Amino acid sequence: MSRLFLFFVVFLLFCLQTVAVQADESGSQSQRTLKEYLFGSKPLGWADLDWETDLYYSNVSLNIPLTDTPIPEVTDEDELEVYGRLWLNLFNPRFLMLEAAVMPMPLVGVGLKEYARDFYGIADIGRNQNVIHWITAGFEEPYALSLFVGDMVKYVKPGEAKLSSNKGFMGYLFSYSNQHIRNNVMVPDHSLEAEWKMKGERSFRDEKHSWSFRLGAKVHDSPNIANTFYVGFRRSNLDFRVNPFEFLRNSSFDVRLDVGTRQVDLLRQEYVLGKIIPIKSWGVALKLDLGLIWENPARYSGALRQMDAPSFSLVLRPNIIF
């Protein structure tokens, strides 16, 4: 069942991107940049088809307006002004988004541990640490289907392409998956997340900024995984115009805390700092995240608690930003 679900998600991602590419065979396609292929957007009339490609989180989404009002476009408007406007429509959602997402690197970690255990074992450090686990840590589902309802704006800059990632939104997100990743092993588990989320990203030629704040709850069908409330905050700043080694202008951080729904005890902590090195001549940036994840043994019970998983895990997450 899990493999069928994974096949469906990957097939959906492939089909939607293929439709978008075929729909754009108008002669201008040859002038499109690699970034526009990886982070594309295509108006369909009744909805916008968007796709984003990343080593750790790739997705395809349909943005469907619930009113006759198009998604507003903003240029140099301040972040606080944008989210002040979105806040006014918090209880009057104007857009619906359907998303299918897959996590490539976490799936690679699962595959290596299951089908190439000898190779996976070469990366062992000590008794219960593994470099491949460090690279793939922090993602608990291999794929997910999501529904978002809320308000949205598009960030635009004159003379630059309109990318799918250039959006800010605030509203309610519901996500479902039928698998849980525990120490790079997939465990059958129907999970549902419900959260209030504020997220935005500006991706232009000389800069790329993204931020996210979320507050939610996650319930599991498996009795061996504790249900949780969580809060998370993430921010990333890339600027090609400054010194590549200037820390604050080219860095990121990500924090998440999970507490149990029964005894409200802290079950998980995640702290990740990232350093971004822009390569302006290539139009890309290299990124390396370093962090720490701590899990309370009480988060799991039964057979899952007996798995050879450490309470602490390092995060070593290389990536490329286009």
Stronger pLDDT, 24 or 109, i.e. the higher one: 109
- Could you tell me if residue 140 is inside a domain? yes
Compute the average pLDDT of residues 270-286: 91
pLDDT band at 162 (very low <50, low <70, confident <90, very high): low
At residue 122, φ and ψ (nearest 5 deg) are -60, -30
**Percentage of residues in the chain having pLDDT higher than 70:** 85
Q: What is the pLDDT of residue 25?
A: 45
> Region 68-95: what's the mean pLDDT?
76
**Residue-wise DSSP of 176-238:** EEEEEEETTEEEEEEEEEEEEEEEEEEE-SSEEEEEEEEEEEEEESSTTB--EEEEEEEEEEE
Query: Could you give the dihedral angle defined by the CA atoms of residues 309, 311, 312 and 318, in that order, rounded to the nearest 10 degrees?
Result: 40
Give the distance, in angstroms, between the CA of residue 77 and the centroid of all CA atoms in the same chain: 25
Q: Where are the alpha helices (DSSP H) in 72-130?
A: 79-88, 104-115, 117-122
Q: Tell me the CA distances in angstroms from 300 to 47, 134, 260, one per residue in order.
A: 41, 20, 11
pLDDT of residue 282: 83
Q: Residue 79 contacts by C-beta under 8 Å, 6 or more apart in sequence?
A: 168, 200, 211
Residue 28 located in a structural domain: no
* 30 part of a folded domain: no
Residue 168 pLDDT exceeds 90: no
The confidence score (pLDDT) of residue 92 equals 80
Rounded mean pLDDT, 82-102: 84
Please give the tally of structural domains in the chain.
1
Question: Is residue 58 in a domain?
Answer: yes
Q: Say yes or no to pLDDT of 86 above 70.
A: yes
Whether residue 34 lies inside any domain: the answer is: no
Residue 113 within any structural domain of the chain: yes
Instruction: Tell me: pLDDT of 111 over 60.
Output: yes
Is residue 29 one of the residues assigned to a domain? no
Report the C-alpha gap between 257 and 62 in whole angstroms.
30
Question: For position 120, what pLDDT does the model report?
Answer: 96
Q: Tell me how far apart the alpha carbons of residues 188 and 142 are, in angstroms, rounded to a whole number.
A: 11
Q: What is the CA radius of gyration of the chain?
A: 20
- 33 part of a folded domain: no
More confident residue, 166 or 123: 123
Domain extent at residue 211: 2-23+39-321
Residue 193 corresponds to which tokens in the numbers above?
A: 């997340």
